[in-house]
Structure formats: C-alpha cells, structure tokens
Amino acid sequence: MDFNLFMNDVVDAARKDITEAGYEELRTPDEVDAALNREGTTLVMVNSTCGCAGGVARPAAVNAIHFDKRPDHLVTVFAGQDREATEKARSYFEGYPPSSPSFALLKDGKIVTMVERHDIEGHSAMDVLGKLQHLFDEYCEEV
C-alpha cells in the first residue's frame, strides 16, 4: 500500500468528520482572518491526524455543539496540512503555545481560553465534551 495514499485517506476522513458536523474549514490565512474577526463567539478546532484527535477531540467537537449554549461560529484548521492557515489561527491564540489537537474559544476576535492537547490526550471524549460544554455555559449565548 502506498503510504501517501493511505495518509490522504486519513486526512480526508478527518476533514470530513468535522466539516459534516457543521464546522467551517479554513484553508488559507485570508479565510482565517475573515472568520476569526467576526463578532460573537468562535470555536476553533485545531484538527490533526494523531490518535487523540480521532478518538477524543473530533468526537467531542461533533457532540459538544448539541447543547443549549454554543458558539456563534464553528471553524477548523488542520495542523500539518494547511500550515499557513494554522499558523495564522495560532497567531490569535496569544499566550498559548502551539498545540494540536486543541480548541480555542474566541470572542469578538480575541482569545478567551483554550482546551490544549494536554487537556485532551489521555482523557475520554466525554471528558473533553464536558470541558467544552463548561466553556460554552460560561461564554456563549443560548441558541
């Protein structure tokens, strides 16, 4: 089996998981600037191909949005794939080191808080879902 074809399949499946859930995929720095400078709350899911992304972060991201309170905007960048877009997104995460997978919650274009890889790796999808829902309770409006 060709390793590059295998990785393309893995990446495509990872992209599909999150976009089918309703997250807007940002693939260029310009798309990131436009999306992250919107008014309201924005959840950025920094996607990746690691096991904790597929087994924990993406399932948490998909299920966390079915809650009374949720961000106004749901977006995703893909670390290791769309490098320039990911770098641009991370430039908004002031005070936080690069981390993937991770979640950043912004309000009116400013970082509020993050759920970093160390908050994801070694935890269950339900644990991370709970962390996201707690943030939504604190910072988001009812839908």
- Tell me if 46 sits within 8 A of 99, measured CB to CB: yes
Residue 52 bears catalytic tag: yes
Please state the φ and ψ torsions of residue 29, each to the nearest 5 degrees. -55, -40
- Element (DSSP H or E) covering residue 4: helix 3-20
45, 50, 56, 106: the active-site residue: 50
21, 36, 52, 140: the active-site residue: 52
Residue 140 bears catalytic tag: no
Write a three-state SS string for 7-37: HHHHHHHHHHHHHHCCCEECCCHHHHHHHHC
Residue numbers annotated as active site: 50, 52
